[in-house]
Amino acid sequence: MSASPSSTTGGDNKPSDQIHFKFCRECSNLLYPKEDRVNNQLMFTCRTCHVGEPASSHCVYQNHLHSQVGDTAGVTQDVTSDPTVCAPAFCTLCGDIVPCFICGSTPDEDLFEDAPPLPRANKLCPSCGETEAVFFQSQQRSAETGMKLYYVCCACGQVYM
């Protein structure tokens, strides 16, 4: 007797992609995969009454990895007005620039006064119709990605390409 697990993803599973549960014909408990070392064969065996049967398939587990690196990782709604980009750290008590905790050097204050803000472009937002947006390059580093530019609308925060 075998039963198929119900799919929670709602996708169309091919019959060959499904793993079937097998149950003991004597006590109806779940059969577990086990190696028959004498015959070098995969068996399904009951842990309660030790009844076994040869496996009809050599697949006992499928691990589908879905790894998608977010191209826009770290983008927040207020990225267009982030004042901390390219700005040095200041002491909250005296207002002086805080030295680097690794090397101890203090950054040149004039270096950051003329620091350019995030690059902006006139790109029509598909969500609200505004034309001002900041843009950045894809954060995904792979050969097939190429260089993708992503835009963040300054009005509504929508991320688009």
Structure confidence by residue, pLDDT tens digits, 63-94? 776 555 555 555 555 665 555 444 455 666 67
pLDDT at 125: 92
Q: Average pLDDT over the chain, rounded to whole?
A: 71
**Fold observed for domain 2-6+14-54:** N-terminal domain of TfIIb (2.20.25)
* Residue 52 clears pLDDT 80, i.e. is over it: yes
Of 87, 113, 123, 127, the C-alpha closest to 136 is 123
Percent of the chain whose predicted confidence (pLDDT) is above 90: 14
Enumerate the domain spans of the chain. 2-6+14-54, 67-82+118-161, 86-116
Global pTM value: 0.36
State which amino acid sits at residue 109. Answer: E
* Domain 67-82+118-161 in the same topology as domain 2-6+14-54: yes
Percent of the chain whose predicted confidence (pLDDT) is above 70: 50
Check whether 24 is labelled as a binding-site residue.
Answer: yes
For residue 140, what are the contacts with CB-CB under 8 A and spacing of at least 6? 69, 70, 71, 148
Check whether 154 is labelled as a binding-site residue.
Answer: no
* CATH class belonging to 67-82+118-161: mainly beta
pLDDT at 132: 83
b/e code 1-21 from CB counts within 10 Å (16+ = b): eeeeeeeeeeeeeeeeeeeee
Strand order in the sheet with 120-122: 120-122, 132-137, 149-153, 159-160
Check whether 49 is labelled as a binding-site residue.
Answer: yes
Check whether 27 is labelled as a binding-site residue.
Answer: yes
pLDDT at 155: 80
* Residue 16 clears pLDDT 60, i.e. is over it: no
Check whether 125 is labelled as a binding-site residue.
Answer: yes
